[in-house]
Amino acid sequence: MMSKPSYYVTTPIYYVTDGPHVGNAYTTIAADVIARYKRQCGYDVHFLTGTDEHGLKIERAAKEKGLTPRELADSVVERFHEAWKRLNITHNDFISTTEERHERIVQHVFQILHDKGDLYLGEYKGWYCVSCESFIKESKEKPNCPECGRPAEWNAETCYFFKMEKYQQHLLDLYNNHPGFVQPTSRLNEIRARVAGGIRDLSVSRTTLEWAVPFPFDPEHRAYVWVDALINYISAIGFGSDDDAFRKRWPADAHLIGKDILWFHAAIWPALLTAIGLEPPKRVFAHGWWTHNGEKMSKSKGNFVNPDEVADNYGVDALRYFLLRELPFGQDGDFRDASLHQRYNSELAGDLGNLVYRTLSMMDRYFDGVVPEPAGEPAGPLAEASASLYVDVDEQMNNLQYSRALDRIWEFVRRSNRYVEERKPWTLAKDPEKRNELAATMYHLAEAIRILSLLVYSVMPDASQAIRKQLALPEESRVLEEALAWGGLPAGTRIQRGDPLFPKKD
Ligand code: MSP
């Protein structure tokens, strides 16, 4: 038997300064959707997420709370586990950077860099943003971090540098030869321009930091947290411990990240990988940032979208749907409460929920809940409308264009609702001579719903399951493309009509 192709997708590993917020939920949901989708398409998916637990940021946050970094991490990591469970996230692994399996590999990587002559001791003097754990360009005045706006701190110490400058041309070749490496393309251009403008060697150790991984060859020096964190993508899949497993997964198919951490993923990471003899990931996709009702979300304003609260009010599926439908993946967007409400009522309750509910109600009414043969009319306009669905949706999903995939699926939902209006089953039902036409109409509507249960699965797993239950369908075991072939619903199926999938909200 041919083995299944591998698909390896990751999220950033999140800082444990605080529990998950909508920004983290966004990346994680997006990764979950592509993971579920590729599983549906027959891939052997590995979906990795986790937590970033070392560094000054965590050390300080713990101190402020009167905790040790270990205590802080342990309490917060639990909240990530709970949140991902609630949001129906199907990661295959969850890595924390303080696990032994990771720390060992961080040391292994630094040893390789050292042995290769890619590290040297030098003097670092410059500005540092603790919140972003990043170095800030030279400046005479005390600068604010260009990324988060917080005041930078002066930092001067002896440290190890990674010879990053040496990899400048290599990075430029990567961007030029593999333009899909960074997406969207506008982000690729940004990174390319920055690298072309010149890069400097990177300070990768500190002696003043306690909460970090010590260098094996010079334990007074501890690893810079960003290098430590990036290594999670390879430590978790067996680099340095299980070559076969590692070779099967690497290079990763997609690192999903926010635009604020692109430099680390699209410049530092491929340079490090090249230095240790590994290929870069196939794709780094940087999504945009959300504001909330037109304002930047911040602790001081206390205006973070709370994913839990949205899930309480509208359901987990609706949260997942809204985040992916509202804005094209890659662009910035505004989370407007009114827009969530509107999309819920019109697209979920109205278009999809209503299609399912009225179809199954009519099936009960006209056929005692038993799906009839599409007598005399095996295909029809819905079969035709569904024919190119797979190809279209698959293209958008492979490009991580979730909103476009959903648009395409909704075209079909709306086409199906129009079909109800065109056929008017309630009129056909009055004429005994139109019994066959009615049967075909109802069969085709039920079949359209079966198709939809498959297509909405990755974004709305609960709704998908609810639809399948009402159609008395087992879990689908075929690959998506085959399962979507028109006519899969067996006539004679006894449906089990349930409550509306998405009850309307005032
Ligand atoms: N620990 C690093 C990542 C290391 S990966 C090797 C980190 N963690 S984080 O917890 O601060 O943030 C993780 C992600 O949340 C980032 O991708 C960031 O873009 C995302 N978001 C944080 N706020 C956001 C919004 N308001 N909107 C969308 N995403 C945002 O960075």
- Mutation to probe ligand 1, out of 10, 28, 52, 102 (largest number of atoms < 8 A from CB): 52
Place of tokens 């993946």: 329
Tell me what percent of the residues of the chain surpass a pLDDT of 90: 91
Ligand 1 atom at shortest distance from the alpha carbon of 265:
6
Q: Which atom of ligand 1 is nearest to the CA of 12?
A: 5
For residue 257, give the ligand 1 atom closest to its CA: 17
* C-alpha distance from residue 90 to each of 6, 13, 76, 274 (Å): 16, 15, 20, 31
Q: Is the dihedral of CA 393, 396, 400, 403 positive or negative?
A: negative
Nearest ligand 1 atom, CA 290: 27
For ligand 1, pick from 26, 231, 327 the residue to mutate: most ligand atoms within 8 Å of CB: 26
Q: Which residue has the tokens 């003899």?
A: 277
pLDDT in tens, 310-320: 999 999 999 99
Residue 147 confidence (pLDDT): 84
Q: Which helix (H) or strand (E) holds 440?
A: helix 435-455
- Residue 1 pLDDT level (bands cut at 50, 70, 90): low
Token couple for 418: 């129009």
- Please give the residue that has the higher pLDDT: either 298 or 206: 206
Nearest CA to ligand 1 atom 20: 23
Tens-digit pLDDT profile for residues 185-195: 999 999 999 99
CA–centroid distance, residue 283 to ligand 1 (Å): 18
Interval 92-102: pLDDT, tens: 999 999 999 99
Give the contacts of 141 (CB within 8 A, at least 6 positions apart).
none
Give me the CATH code for the 337-483 domain, please: 1.10.730.10
Distance CA 77, CA 297 (A): 22
Residue type, 502: F
Q: Are the C-beta atoms of 73 and 53 separated by less than 8 Å?
A: yes
Q: Which residue is closest in CA terms to ligand 1's atom 22?
A: 23
Distance 143 CA to ligand 1 centre (A): 22
Express as a percent the part of the chain with pLDDT over 70.
Answer: 99
Contacts (Cβ under 8 Å, ≥6 apart) of 306: 21, 22
Ligand 1 atom, smallest distance to 24 CA: 15
Choose the weakest-confidence range: 260-264, 376-380, 392-396: 376-380
Bridge partners of 200, per DSSP, are: none
250 CA → ligand 1 middle, Å: 23
Of 231, 233, 228, which is closest to residue 206 (Cα–Cα)?
228
State if residue 23 touches ligand 1 by the CB under 6 angstroms criterion. yes
Residue nearest to atom 16 of ligand 1 (CA): 258
Tell me the CA–centroid distance for residue 74 and ligand 1, in Å: 19
Domain boundaries, the chain: 337-483
Q: Is the pLDDT of residue 24 over 90?
A: yes
202-203 and 153-162 beta bridge pairing: antiparallel
Is the pLDDT confidence value at 378 over 90? Answer: no
- Ligand 1 centre and the CA of 257: distance in Å? 7
Query: Helical H runs in 250-388?
Result: 262-263, 269-275, 307-314, 316-326, 337-343, 354-367, 381-386
261 lines ligand 1 (CB under 6 A): yes
Q: Counting atoms of ligand 1 from 1, which one is nearest the CA of 52?
A: 1
Least confident of 101-105, 167-171, 373-377, 491-495: 373-377
Residue 409 Cβ < 6 Å to ligand 1: no
Whether the CB of 20 sits within 6 Å of ligand 1: no
Q: What pLDDT band is residue 137 in, cutting at 50, 70 and 90?
A: confident
Check pocket membership of 14 for ligand 1, CB cut-off 6 A: yes
Q: What is the pLDDT of residue 118?
A: 98
Q: Nearest Cα to 56, choosing from 129, 116, 113, 112?
A: 129
**Averaged pLDDT, 435-452:** 98
Q: Whose CA is nearest to atom 29 of ligand 1?
A: 23
Q: pLDDT grade, residue 408 (50/70/90)?
A: very high
Query: What's the whole-number mean pLDDT along residues 420-446?
Result: 97
Distance from the alpha carbon of residue 17 to the mean position of ligand 1, in angstroms: 12
Strands 254-258 and 6-15: parallel
Neighbours of 100 (CB within 10 A): 7
Cβ(230) – ligand 1 distance below 6 Å: yes
Long-range contacts of 360-366 (CB under 8 A, 24+ apart): 360/446, 360/449, 360/470, 360/495, 360/497, 360/498, 361/497, 362/425, 362/426, 362/442, 362/445, 363/442, 363/446, 363/495, 363/497, 364/495, 364/497, 365/429, 366/425, 366/429, 366/438, 366/442
In this structure, how many other beta carbons lie within 10 angstroms of the beta carbon of residue 483? Answer: 16
- The Cα 189–Cα 179 span in angstroms is 9
Tell me the mean pLDDT in the region 372-395. Answer: 94
**pTM for the structure as a whole:** 0.97
454 residue type, one letter: L
- Tokens at 151, concatenated: 């005041």
Q: What pLDDT was estimated at residue 375?
A: 86
Q: Which of 466, 432, 443 is nearest to 374 (CA)?
A: 443
Amino acid at 212: A
Averaged over 456-476, what is the pLDDT? 97
Predicted confidence band of residue 370 (pLDDT cuts 50, 70, 90): very high
